[in-house]
Amino acid sequence: MMTLREALEILAHHRGQRIVIATMSSASVWPSLSDTPLDFIYVPSAMGQGPSLAHGLALAQPERGVIVLNGDGCMLMNLGCLVTLAEHPANVYLLIIDNGLYEVTGGQPTPGAGRIDFAALARAVGIARVYSYDNASAWRAGAAEALTGPGPVVIWLKVEGRLGQSAPKAPRPMAEQIQRLRQAITEQIPEPPS
């Protein structure tokens, strides 16, 4: 098992010039690791819709990958997004950060916590590049491979649950985040995912 912060620190080393969309618990940690215009803290959000937002962005900007940090609870609210991602492939790197809890509401267990195989779900809908890591050493060793090459990629990370967390806040207003992101997309020419 690894902590959420450990998982995201490893990601921060490998995200390159990709857009990162952070939701829920990840949104409370990611800004302390990266706060560039390509970091989009999706707060306030529509429940479970982070992957779909990322998918649209990736389809609009095919040369630029989009990483989305999604919890297991959010994932369960929108499992159909996996099917849509397989139907319309794009450079989406979906990290399912599984702590088995609704962390920001007080740590209640998510349905099926500890029993759901998110990797099998992703493979079953036709996503070929699927990775699973349940400790920091394995994730650190595998991150470069998982995050290299074209999407869609699903990465299932098992992390420790945290209790006593409050709802995340964005570091700046949504309008400013959108303006920064659009400007960065326009001005920064990315290298294509290799």
Partner 1 sequence: MFDGPSVVAALEDCGVTHVVWLPDSDIGRWEPALRTASCLQLLRVCREGEAIALAAGLHLGGKRPIVLIQCTGLFEAGDSLRNIVHDLHLPLFLVIGVRSYHAHQRGASTDSCPIFTEPILRAWQLPYVLLDDRHRAADLAAAYRQAQAKNQAFAVLLPE
Note the residues at the interface with partner 1 (CB under 8 A). Answer: 44-50, 52-61, 78, 80-81, 83-84, 87-88, 174-175, 178, 181-182, 185-186
131 Ramachandran zone, left/alpha/beta (phi>0; psi -120 to 50): beta
The nearer residue to partner 1, 67 or 181, going by C-beta atoms, is: 181
The nearer residue to partner 1, 119 or 185, going by C-beta atoms, is: 185
d(CA 27, CA 174): 13
The nearer residue to partner 1, 3 or 49, going by C-beta atoms, is: 49
Shortest gap between Cβ of 158 and partner 1 (angstroms)?
25
Report helix, strand or coil for 24: helix
Phi and psi torsions of 27, nearest 5°: -65, -20
Shortest gap between Cβ of 5 and partner 1 (angstroms)?
27
The nearer residue to partner 1, 136 or 181, going by C-beta atoms, is: 181
Shortest gap between Cβ of 141 and partner 1 (angstroms)?
31
* Residues in contact with 19: Cβ distance below 8 Å, sequence separation at least 6, in sequence order: 38, 39, 40, 54, 57, 61, 64, 65, 66, 67, 181, 185
Shortest gap between Cβ of 80 and partner 1 (angstroms)?
3
Angle at alpha carbon of residue 10, lines to 4 and 16, rounded to 5°: 125
